[in-house]
Amino acid sequence: MKLLAILFLCSRLLTSFAQEDQPQEVDCNDEDVFKAVDTALKKYNNASNSGNQFVLYRIKEVINTVNHDIFYSVKYEMKEGDCPVQSGKTWQDCDYKEAEQAATGECMAAIGKTWNMEFSVATQTCHITPAEGPVVTSQYDCYGCLHTIRTVPPDFDPVLRHAIQHFNNHTNHSHLFDLKEVERAQRQVVSGWNYEVTYLIQQTNCSKENFKFLTQDCKALRSGDTVECTDLAYVDPQLRIASFSQKCQILPGEDFVPPSRRNCRGCPEEIPIDHKACPNLKDALTHSITNLNAENNSTFYFKIDIVHRATSQVVAGSKYFIDFTARETTCSKESNKELTESCEINKLGEILRCTADVYVVPWENKIDSTVKCQSLGKHINRILLYLQKQLRPCVYKGRPREAGAQPTSESVAS
């Protein structure tokens, strides 16, 4: 069923953090505003496992940040619709429930824009008022988180091409390799984009002696070697691959099975990132952050905020690989001898994305770690705080329309 009525209210004053904090006017009829809110509302509905979808009621406030990290900050209201979340419909296909039976909600969302001009929700907090009962707060806060790319988009090709070329140029294998399969890909919106991708490449019939680069004549050999690689890449706002790292394992043989799909004594295995479920991980994490703080020349201590992934490997002892995010705390090294539980995260402080290799030999009471980090900067949190303080509402009306239709509207004095 088509949506009967949507009342749109949005702001006329938009603020740019990047241009000396001067507000910029933007036409509220811009279709991008509706697309951004549509992305945020679908994100909220898709996160629900039961109940009905919510339907857009009105857009109250909008800020265009003119920034690579957060394109819009929006505040919008929604009402419970008559379509179950598992119905396969979108909110545009739903009507509002009867007023006395419908829950209502107000959401604040920060929405980024990727290099292929798609919108992505960075952070979203919604306050839901049920038809009966108290207000419930739902928070989606994944700015800086890695998000799984379920279908590899065309704009991802430059990263894969660079990765395969890097392998071919930096290995002594006699033949060139080409892409076989992308096993897993994740993307993170920062000041630019971080990518983490695991993929398979296959030996081709093109020898390095006769071919400098892959061409259309290079065909995969069914009996050739297969390689599984995991790469980390950072693409800056100018769409340049600014940093890149690659770990690959050549697995010879015709009947190749990826290590992630076979049991292998001595091979790395994924372990729970909750140190309560895996107590040995706690010591590895503690040693990693201690090592980071000892080698980092920052004035303040850092603490681990999120553990993204961890593996363990049985060697002559245990070897751990940990991927985590660390954030600057309010505890200075000058005033505190060490990092303690009471040290709180500084919301405006620096953010680091880190990997740690930790080697533990319990019977020798030995533990060593190597930690490598990349700074994600401070400005992300500063922008978010700025946006919360700078929202300036105005009133704007629009007639009902379907998603994707060109908006028409009549401004009303604020």
Domains of the chain, first to last:
13-143+386-411 (3.10.450.10), 148-261 (3.10.450.10), 269-377 (3.10.450.10)
Can you tell me whether residue 111 is helix, strand or coil?
A: strand
Reduced to 3 states (helix: H, G, I; strand: E, B; else coil), residue 302 is strand
d(CA 325, CA 369): 16
Query: In the prediction, which pLDDT does 316 show?
Result: 74
Report which listed range, 143-147, 175-179, 371-375, is most confident: 175-179
The reported pTM is 0.36
Burial class (CB within 10 angstroms; exposed 0-12, middle 13-18, buried 19+) of 237: middle
Single-letter residue type at 134 = P
Which pLDDT belongs to residue 315? 75
Instruction: Report which of residues 25 and 132 the model is more confident about.
Output: 132
pLDDT range class, residue 151, cuts 50, 70, 90? low
Model pLDDT, residue 413: 31
Summarised one tens digit per residue, pLDDT across range 206-229 is: 999 999 889 988 998 877 888 899
- Structural contact between residues 131 and 100, judged by C-beta atoms closer than 8 angstroms: yes
Give the pair of three-digit tokens for residue 392: 């300036």
pLDDT at 7: 35
Q: Where are the alpha helices (H) located in 78-198, listed in sequence order? A: 157-170
Could you report the per-residue pLDDT of 241-285, keeping only the tens digit for each? 888 999 988 775 544 455 444 455 567 777 777 655 566 788 889
Give the DSSP per-residue string, 344-412.
Answer: -B-TTS-EEEEEEEEEEEGGGTEEEEEEEEEEEESHHHHHHHHHHHH-----EEE----TTSPP-EEE-
Question: Sheet containing 52-64: which strands, arranged edge to edge?
Answer: 52-64, 72-84, 104-113, 119-129, 136-141
Residue with tokens 């001595």: 266
Task: Note the pLDDT of residue 29.
Answer: 58
Residue 8 has what pLDDT? Answer: 37
Q: Is 75 in contact with 95 (CB distance < 8 Å)?
A: no
Average pLDDT value for the chain: 76
What are the Cα distances from residue 146, in Å, to 239, 288, 312?
A: 18, 21, 21
φ/ψ of 169, rounded to 5, equals -85, -20
pLDDT tens per residue across span 1-29? 444 334 333 433 333 333 334 434 445 55
Q: In the predicted model, what is the mean pLDDT of residues 304-324?
A: 85
Give me 351's structure tokens. Answer: 């953010």
Tell me the DSSP string of 137-165: EEEEE-TT--EE-SS--GGGHHHHHHHHH
DSSP state of 50: S
Residues 177-191 have pLDDT tens digits of: 999 888 888 877 777
Of 70-84, 241-255, 259-273, 304-318, the one with minimum mean pLDDT is 259-273
Between the two ends of the chain, the Cα-to-Cα distance in Å is 33
Q: Give the largest CA-CA distance in the chain.
A: 76
Q: How does residue 152 score in pLDDT terms, banded at 50, 70 and 90?
A: low
Compute the average pLDDT of residues 147-168.
80
User: In terms of DSSP H, where are the helices of 188-334?
Assistant: 279-295
What is the pLDDT averaged over residues 368-375?
89
E strand or H helix at 46: helix 31-46
The pLDDT, as a whole number, for residue 145 is 61
